[in-house]
Structure 1
Amino acid sequence: MLQSKSNWKFKTISNETTQWMDDSSNLSPVMKELLIQRGISTIQEAQDFISPKLENLFDPRSFQAIEKASTRVHTAIEQQEKILVYGDYDADGVSSTTVLLKTLRELGANCDYYIPNRFTEGYGPNEAAFQQAFEDGYSVIITVDTGIASVYEAEVAKQLGIDLIITDHHEPQEELPDAYAILHPKLSPEYPFKELAGVGVAFKFSQHLLGYFPEHLLDLVAIGTVADLVPLIDENRILTYYGLRKLSDTKRLGLKALMSQCKIEGAINEQDIGFLIGPRLNAVGRLQDADLAVQLLLTEDQAEAEELAEVVNELNQERQQIVASIVKEAEAMVDLQDHHSVIVVAKSGWNEGVLGIVASRLVKKYDRPAIVLAINEEKQTAKGSARSIPAFDLFQNCMKMRSYFTHFGGHSQAAGMTLPLDHVGKIEQELNQLIKDQLTADDFKQEIAISKTICVPEINEELVSEIDQLAPFGMANPKPIFHLKHTPSDIRQLGSMKNHLKIHFKENDKVIEGIGFGMGDLYHRISPQTEVSVVGELGINEWNGIKKPQLVLQDMSINEWQLFDHRGKKQFDAAPYFSNHERHVLLSNKEIEEKNVSETMKQITYHTPLETIERADVLYIYDLPTNLAHLKEIINQVQPVNIHVCFYVENSSYLSPMPTRDDFKWFYALLYKRKQIDLNTELQLIMDAKGWKKDQVVFISKVFFELEFVKIENGVIQLNSAPVKKDLQESNLYQERINKAHIEKTLYYSTYQELYNWFQSTITYMDSERLKEELTYGL
C-alpha cells in the first residue's frame, strides 16, 4: 500500500447537464465531459469556450460610477489638469499602471504614475504620497489594482481637494473609502462578471475613456490577469486568450527584451507568463522600487529595453537566492515549534518583498496555513504575508480579528498584513483555535481535483490536442488531471540522482509512458505486478522528431497491501523503504545492522510473546520460521500493509537430497550385517558406494540414534541389540527436516506469485478497519 500525498477529489456531473453529450458534435466523450464540468451544457456554450469571442465581453458602461469617473478624467484632460496613476508593485499592478498610463497619454493627458516602495511605504495609497502629489499639482489620482481598503487615505485626498478615482478588484471591506468614484466589479451590481484582475478593471476603464476597444493593450492585460491568479473564465478567459496572441507578436521593446532573457520563443502561453514573465516583473517590486518594471513596459528605446530587461532578470535571480535563504531559516524555526494548526514565523531582517513566496513554500511542505512576518524592532511591528490551504478561508477568518491588524487585505488563500509585534502571538492563538474548530485532519492535505478516470487505449495525440483547446489554463479552469489505474509493465528511475520516475502502462499493443519529476523515491515503494493509481496531466513528449502522448504524474497511490521480494540477498538495505510509513517491525532472530534499523522500527523474534507485538505499517521478515502457522499469527498480529521478505538460505534443506526409506533400509541392513560402523574410516566408502553426501550419512545416523536403533560414540555407530520397532515418522529430526524443506519451498523457492498467494491466504485482517484507515482516496 502506498498513500497518496494529496487528497484526490473526483469531479462529478449531474444527469441534468448531459443532454447534449449524444448530439452530432464531433467532440470526444472525454472533451464533452470536461466541458460539462466547467458548467458548459450546450453546443453554443462549448463553441464560445473553445473559441472565445471578443464580442462576448461586457460593456464597461455597466460599471457603477464609470460615467462619473470618465467625465472627470476627460474634464481634467481638457483643462490640462495633472493626473496621477497610482499603482501597485506586483505584475498586475505594473501592467495596470502601464495600461492606464498608455491610455491617458493617447488621450493627450498631462499625466504620470506613482508606485509606492514596498519597504518604506508599504502596500496601497498613503498620506505622504498624496501630500506630495498635491504639492506637485495633481488634482486627480486614479488608483489601479489598489485602494479599496484606503479609507483614511481617501479622506486625506478629499481634504487636499484631490479627486480620487479608485479602480480595484481586491475584496471590499466593511467600510468603503469616500472617494470621488470607485470602479470595482464586486461593487457594481449591473456588471455581470465579478472576478476581473486589477489590470482587467483598468482595461475596462481605458476602453470607456478611449471610446473604442483598445486591442493593442491586451498583451498587458494577459500578463496581469495570469500573474494575479484570478479565475481564467468568462471575461478573463477571453481577455487572456486574445492577450496571449497579442503577446506572441508584441511590438513592445521591453517585453521582447524580457522574453529574450527568459529564452521564450514562438507562441506565448499562460505558463510562460506564470513561470517566467510574471515572476520577473514581480521580482522588481519585491526588492526595490517597481518603477523599473513600468519603465520596461513603457520604453520605446531598444538599448534601454535590453538594459532594463537584463536588470530585471538579475533581480529575479537575487530574489530566488533570498527566498531560498529565508525558507531555510523559517523551516528550522517551524521544526522547533510545537505542531500547531497554523504556522506563524517572524524575524527581523527578513525581506518583506518575498515573504508571500516563503509562506507558499511553507504551506506546500507542512500542509498548514502559514504567516511569515518581518519584524521592525524600532517600531515594534511585524509586517508580512500569509498563504492558506484550500479548506481554510484566510481572509474571512482574519477579518474576525481585524482589530489586531494595523493593515490587512487579501483573498481567501492569500493576505498581506501589518500588526503590532505583541499581537503576533494573539493571532497565532486565535487562528489556531479557528482552524481546529473548522477543519478535520484530512482537510490539511493538499487537494488534487481529478477530472476523469481514463484507460490506456483512450490516450492518444488527438485527445491531447483536443484538451489543449481548453487553454489558457488557470484558476477555475485548471488543466485537466486524469486518473489511471493499471499494472505497470516497466518502472525505472531517471536522472543522475535517480530522482525522477518513468513508468510504462501497457494494454494490448498500446503503451503509455508516465513521467514523475521528483518522484524517483517512489521506485522503491512499488512492488512487482501491483496495480497502481496515478494522477497527472496529459501531454506530448517529443524526442528526435517522434511525438508520443504521456502522462505527467503529480501523485500516486497503491490501494492494496504489497509484497516486496528481496529473497537471496546477503545484504539488504531497508533504508529506502522507511519513508511514507510511520511504524515498522523487523522480524529476525539475530541483531540487524544499524543502517537497516530506524527510530520508528521495532525488532521482534519468533520467540516474542504474541500479545506484546504491536501493529505496524511495514513488516520486514529476515529469517524463515520453524512453523508456518506461527508466522501467520505474527502477520495477523502486526497487520502490515506492506511486507518485505528478506530471507537468505545458505544450507538448504529443500535443495539437499532427502534420504528415502530405501536409503534408511540399506544403511540399517549394513549395520545389521556389520554390527558396527566406524565413520572415521568408512564414511568415504559408504558415500562412494551410494553416491551420497556426508550430510546424508550423518542425518540417517542421527535419526537412527534418536529412534534408539543405534549407539554413537566417537564416530562409531553400533547397532542396539534389541531395538524397539519404530517408524521414521516418529523421529523429530526426520519431521523437522521435512518441515524445514516444506517451509523453504513455500517461502524461499516459490515464485513471486506463489509467495504472494500464500501471504494473501494468510492475511485475515484485510476487511477490517485497519485497511480502511489506509485508504488513500475513494471513488
Structure 2
Amino acid sequence: MIQSSKKWKIQKPDESFVGQLRKELNITSLTAKILASRVKTIEEAKNIFYMDDRHLHNPFLLAGMKEAVERIELALDRGEKILIYGDYDADGITSTTIMLNVLLDLGADVEYEIPNRFTHGYGPHEELFRKAHENGIQLIITVDNGISGIEPIRLAKELGMDVIVTDHHEPGDELPPADVIVHPRIPEGHYPFGELAGVGVAFKLAHALYGEEPDHLYEYAAIGTIADLVPLTGENRYIAKKGIEQIRKSNSPWVKALCEASGVKQQEIDEEIIGFYFGPRLNAIGRLGDAKPGVEFLMSGDLEFALQGAKLLNQKNNERKEYVASITEEAIGMIENDPRIGNSLVLVVAKEGWHAGVIGIVASRLVEKYYKPAIVFSIDPETGLAKGSGRSIEGFHLYNELAKNRDILPHFGGHPMAAGMTLSREHIDELRERLHRQASQCLTEELLTPKLYIDVPVDLGEVSVEAIEEVQSLKPFGIGFEKPVFAIQQVSVRSMRKIGANEDHIKMELENEYGILDAVGFNKGFLYNEITYGVKISIAGDLQINEWQGRKKPQFFILDVQTSEWQLFDYRGKANVPNLLNNIPMESSFVAFRKETLQYFGEFLPSIQLIEDEMYGSLSPFLVLLDLPKRVQEMEKLIETARPKRIYAVFYTPNSLFFNGMPTRKHFVHYYTLIKSRPFINLNEHLRHLSKHLGLNAEAIKFMTKVFFELGFVTIENGLIKVNQFAEKRSLTEAASYQLRKQQIELEQQFLYSTYSELKQWFNERIKEFSYS
C-alpha cells in the first residue's frame, strides 16, 4: 500500500457534455474533459478554445477613462510635469513601465517614483508626495496602488497637485479624494471584466491614450498579469496569451537578457516560465530594497545595459532564495523543537532580524510542509514591533480570524488566505494561543488534511502526442483556469529504475490493456523502494511531450502516487540484507519468531519484536518478517493480527534444511542396521566414515541419531551409541525432531523457496480471508 499524504478529489466529468464538446469543437476526449471541468456551456468552451480580440474591451468602458485621458492630454498640451507613482512588485514595476512608455512616446515631461517597501511601505506616501511637489510635479498618476491612499492623496490635493488613481486592489468604505479614479470595479459592475491586474488597468489607459491597441506593450502586461496571480480568464487571459506570443518573438534587449539570466529558451516561454522565472526576479528586487532598477531594466534599449540589469535581478533573486532557505530552516527548527509552537493549530514563529521582505514566502513554505495556517514575524529590536505575514488553508479565514484580535493587533489587512500585520513583540505568544483556540473551533481533521484536486481522469488509450499538443493550445493556465491535474488509475508498473546522479528521481513504464506510457518522478526516487511489480497503482500529475533526437513521445510527470493494494517486498536470499533494511520505513514492525534471529539483526535494527506464545503486542501495518516460524499457524495468526498493508519477506534462515531434505526410510533402516551390527559407535570419531558409507551429510546423520534416541531405539552415553535391544516398535513420525524437521522443510518450501507469485498468493489468500472475517 502507498498512502498519499493528500486526499485525492477526482472530478468525474459529465460524459454527455464531454461528448458534446468533442462533437461541436472537433477536439480529443482529453481536451474535452479539461473544458468540461471548467465551463458549463458550449459557448464558454468556444471562448476559451478560440480566443481572439473580441475579449479585448474598449478602454473607454472603464469609468473615469475619458476624464483621465482628457486630464493627461491637457498636461501634455501645457507641458506639465507628470509623476508616475508605482509599486514595488512585478505588477507595479510593469505598470510603471507601461505608463512611462506611453507618456514618453507622447512627449510628456515625465518621471516615476516607487516607494521603498521598508522605508515607505505600500501605496501613496506623504513624504514622497511632498518631494514630488517640491520637484514641480503637477499631475500624479498612480499605477497598481492608490485606492487606499486617502490621506496622502488629500495632502497632494492640498498642495495643488492633481491625482489620477489607476488601481485594481479592493477598495475600502471610503475612496480617496482623487480627481479621477480608474478601477475595473468602481463603480461595481460597470466594466465587463472586473479582474484586471494593476498592469491591465495601466494597459487600458495606454490603449486609450494611443487611440489604438498598443501591441508593443503586451510583453509587460503579460508579465505583470501572470506574476500578480489574478484570474487568467476573460480579458486577462487574452492579455497573457497575446503577451506570451509577443515575448517569444520579441527583439527587446531585456527579453534576451532575462532569458539568458534565467537559462530559458525564448521560443519556449510560457506562463510557467513567466510565473517561476521572470516574475520572481522582478519581485525579488522590490522585496530586498529599491525596485527602481526593475523599471530601468524593462526600459533598457541597449543589450549590454540589459544584461547588467538582468545580472542584478539574478543576484537579488539568489539573495532572496538564500534568505528564504535560511529563515525557513530556522522556523522549522522552532516548530520541531518547541511544543508550544509545533502543537498549535496555527503556526506562529518570530525572530529578530529575519528579512521582512521574504517572510510571506516563508509562511507559504510552512503551510506547504505542515498544512496549517502559518504566520512569520520579523521583530525590530529597536522598536519592539513585529512585522508579520501569514498564509492560510481552506476553512480558516485568516483576515476574519485576525479581526477577532484587534485589541492586540493595531495594524492588519489581507484576505481569507493571506494577510499582513504588525503588533508588539510581547503579544506574539498570546496571538498564537488565541488563534489556536479559534482554529480548534473551525478546523476539523478533514480540513487539516491537504487535498489534491484532480480534474481529468485519463485512460492510457486517450494519451497521444497529438492529444497533448491540443491540450497545450488551451494555455495559458493559471488562477481561475488552472493547469489540469491528470490521474491515471489502476495501471501496472512494467519497469522502473532510479535516475539522476544521486538516484533521486525515478523513471517508469506504466501499462494496462490500453497501452504503455513513460512516467518520470523528479525527487521521487524513494518510490523505487515502495512499489512492487504486479501491484496496480494510480498516479496523478501532468502530461507532457518528451522530444529526443527528433522523436516525440508522451510522458507523464508524477506529482503523487497511491495504491490501496497490499504489497509484498521480496528480500529473500538477498546479499547484504542489513543494508537493504535501510530502505524499509522505520515505523515498520520488525518481527522475529526465533531468539537466534535477534542476535544476528540486533546490531542493525533498533527494535525487534519477538513473537512468543502468540503475544504480538502493537503491530504496524508495515510488517518485516525477519525469519520463519516453527509452525505455519504462527504465521497465519500473525497475519490475522497485523492485517498488513506491506510485507517485507526477509526469512533469514542460517541452517536451511530444504536442500538437505528428509532422509528416506531406507536411509533410516540402513543406519539402524549398521549400528545394530556393532556393540557401539562413537559418533564423533566415526561421523566422517558414516557419512561416506551412508551417502548422507553429517547433519542428516546427527538428525537420524536424534530421532532414534527420541524413539528409544538407541542410548547415548559419553558419545557412544548403542542399540536398545528392548525398544518397542514405533513409527519414525512419532519423534518430535522428525516432526520439526518435516515442518521446517515444508515452511522453507512454502516461504523461502517458493516463487514470488506463489508466496504472494499464499499471503493474499490469508489477507483476504481475514479482511472479510
Cα 1:302–1:722 change in 2 (3 A) is closer
Cα 1:555–1:441 change in 2 (3 A) is same
The alpha carbon displacement at 1:416 in A equals: 3.0
Q: Does 1:96 align with 2:102?
A: no
1:284 is aligned to 285
3-state secondary structure, aligned to 1:4: coil
CA RMSD, aligned part only? 2.7
3-state secondary structure, aligned to 1:125: coil
- C-alpha contact 1:636 1:764 (8 A) present in aligned 2: no
1:776 is aligned to none
The alpha carbon displacement at 1:309 in A equals: 2.4
- State the alpha-carbon separation in 2 of the partners of residues 176 and 404 from structure 1: 27
- C-alpha contact 2:376 2:390 (8 A) present in aligned 1: yes
Runs of 4+ in 1 over 6 A off after TM superposition: none
* Correspondence list, 1:26-425, <5 A: 26-39=26-39, 41-42=41-42, 44-187=43-186, 188-267=188-267, 268-338=269-339, 339-401=343-405, 404-425=408-429
- C-alpha contact 2:397 2:417 (8 A) present in aligned 1: yes
- C-alpha contact 1:64 1:189 (8 A) present in aligned 2: no
- State the alpha-carbon separation in 1 of the partners of residues 127 and 113 from structure 2: 12
- State the alpha-carbon separation in 1 of the partners of residues 181 and 320 from structure 2: 34
Cα 1:282–1:527 change in 2 (3 A) is same
3-state secondary structure, aligned to 2:357: helix
3-state secondary structure, aligned to 2:653: coil
Percent sequence identity is 39
Range with greater deviation from structure 2 (331-340 or 113-122): 331-340
Residue by residue, what CA displacement relative to the aligned partner does 1:96-139 show, whole Å, maximum 9, x if unpaired? Answer: 11112222333333322110011211122222122222333333
The alpha carbon displacement at 1:594 in A equals: 6.2
- C-alpha contact 2:643 2:771 (8 A) present in aligned 1: no
Letter in 2 for 1:113: Y
* Correspondence list, 1:683-722, <5 A: 683-722=687-726
- C-alpha contact 1:20 1:41 (8 A) present in aligned 2: no
- C-alpha contact 1:632 1:763 (8 A) present in aligned 2: no
The alpha carbon displacement at 1:81 in A equals: 3.3
Q: Which residue of 555, 576, 579 corresponds with 1:573? A: 579
- State the alpha-carbon separation in 2 of the partners of residues 80 and 400 from structure 1: 51
Letter in 2 for 1:548: K
Cα 1:277–1:473 change in 2 (3 A) is same
3-state secondary structure, aligned to 1:656: coil
3-state secondary structure, aligned to 2:753: coil
- State the alpha-carbon separation in 1 of the partners of residues 300 and 243 from structure 2: 19
* Correspondence list, 1:386-535, <5 A: 386-401=390-405, 404-484=408-488, 485-507=490-512, 510-535=515-540
3-state secondary structure, aligned to 1:346: strand
Cα 1:253–1:666 change in 2 (3 A) is closer
The alpha carbon displacement at 1:247 in A equals: 1.4
- C-alpha contact 2:82 2:137 (8 A) present in aligned 1: yes
Residue by residue, what CA displacement relative to the aligned partner does 1:720-758 show, whole Å, maximum 9, x if unpaired? Answer: 222222222211111111011111111111111111122
- State the alpha-carbon separation in 2 of the partners of residues 706 and 767 from structure 1: 42
* Correspondence list, 1:634-653, <5 A: 634-653=638-657
Cα 1:336–1:170 change in 2 (3 A) is farther
Cα 1:696–1:682 change in 2 (3 A) is same
- State the alpha-carbon separation in 2 of the partners of residues 420 and 80 from structure 1: 48
- State the alpha-carbon separation in 2 of the partners of residues 249 and 193 from structure 1: 28
Cα 1:690–1:765 change in 2 (3 A) is closer
- State the alpha-carbon separation in 1 of the partners of residues 590 and 654 from structure 2: 24
Residue by residue, what CA displacement relative to the aligned partner does 1:239-281 show, whole Å, maximum 9, x if unpaired? Answer: 1110111112234333332223223333221122112211111
How many residues get paired?
Answer: 763
Cα 1:195–1:411 change in 2 (3 A) is farther
- C-alpha contact 1:63 1:190 (8 A) present in aligned 2: yes
3-state secondary structure, aligned to 1:667: helix
Cα 1:456–1:565 change in 2 (3 A) is same
- State the alpha-carbon separation in 2 of the partners of residues 582 and 443 from structure 1: 25
- State the alpha-carbon separation in 1 of the partners of residues 499 and 422 from structure 2: 46
- C-alpha contact 1:170 1:410 (8 A) present in aligned 2: no
2:742 is aligned to 738
Cα 1:608–1:475 change in 2 (3 A) is farther
Cα 1:518–1:18 change in 2 (3 A) is closer
- State the alpha-carbon separation in 1 of the partners of residues 538 and 260 from structure 2: 40
Cα 1:221–1:708 change in 2 (3 A) is same
TM-score of the two chains, using structure 1 as the length reference: 0.91
- C-alpha contact 2:359 2:389 (8 A) present in aligned 1: yes
Range with greater deviation from structure 2 (124-133 or 674-683): 674-683
2:6 is aligned to 6
- C-alpha contact 1:255 1:296 (8 A) present in aligned 2: no
* Correspondence list, 1:10-21, <5 A: 10-14=10-14, 17-18=17-18, 20-21=20-21
Cα 1:767–1:709 change in 2 (3 A) is closer
- State the alpha-carbon separation in 1 of the partners of residues 74 and 262 from structure 2: 42
Cα 1:71–1:404 change in 2 (3 A) is farther
Q: Does 1:662 align with 2:670?
A: no
3-state secondary structure, aligned to 1:352: coil
- State the alpha-carbon separation in 2 of the partners of residues 391 and 249 from structure 1: 44
1:775 is aligned to none
3-state secondary structure, aligned to 1:444: coil
- C-alpha contact 2:195 2:231 (8 A) present in aligned 1: yes
3-state secondary structure, aligned to 2:138: strand
Letter in 2 for 1:136: N
Cα 1:110–1:18 change in 2 (3 A) is same
Cα 1:679–1:768 change in 2 (3 A) is closer
- C-alpha contact 2:25 2:46 (8 A) present in aligned 1: no
Range with greater deviation from structure 2 (18-27 or 195-204): 18-27
Range with greater deviation from structure 2 (13-22 or 221-230): 13-22
Please, which runs of 5 or more residues in structure 1 have no aligned partner?
Answer: 770-779
Residue by residue, what CA displacement relative to the aligned partner does 1:754-773 show, whole Å, maximum 9, x if unpaired? Answer: 1112222233686489xxxx
- State the alpha-carbon separation in 1 of the partners of residues 17 and 63 from structure 2: 34
- C-alpha contact 1:19 1:41 (8 A) present in aligned 2: no
Residue by residue, what CA displacement relative to the aligned partner does 1:496-525 show, whole Å, maximum 9, x if unpaired? Answer: 211111111134694321111111122211
Cα 1:686–1:296 change in 2 (3 A) is closer
3-state secondary structure, aligned to 1:653: coil
- C-alpha contact 2:259 2:266 (8 A) present in aligned 1: no
- State the alpha-carbon separation in 2 of the partners of residues 98 and 398 from structure 1: 36
Cα 1:145–1:760 change in 2 (3 A) is same
The alpha carbon displacement at 1:302 in A equals: 3.9
Residue by residue, what CA displacement relative to the aligned partner does 1:64-108 show, whole Å, maximum 9, x if unpaired? Answer: 333343333333333333332211111111001111222233333
Residue by residue, what CA displacement relative to the aligned partner does 1:368-415 show, whole Å, maximum 9, x if unpaired? Answer: 222222211222212242223345443444345456545434444333
3-state secondary structure, aligned to 1:643: strand
Q: Which residue of 550, 553, 561 corresponds with 1:548? A: 553
3-state secondary structure, aligned to 1:105: helix
- State the alpha-carbon separation in 2 of the partners of residues 696 and 592 from structure 1: 25
- C-alpha contact 2:39 2:45 (8 A) present in aligned 1: no
The alpha carbon displacement at 1:651 in A equals: 2.0
Please, which runs of 5 or more residues in structure 2 have no aligned partner?
Answer: none
Range with greater deviation from structure 2 (519-528 or 261-270): 261-270
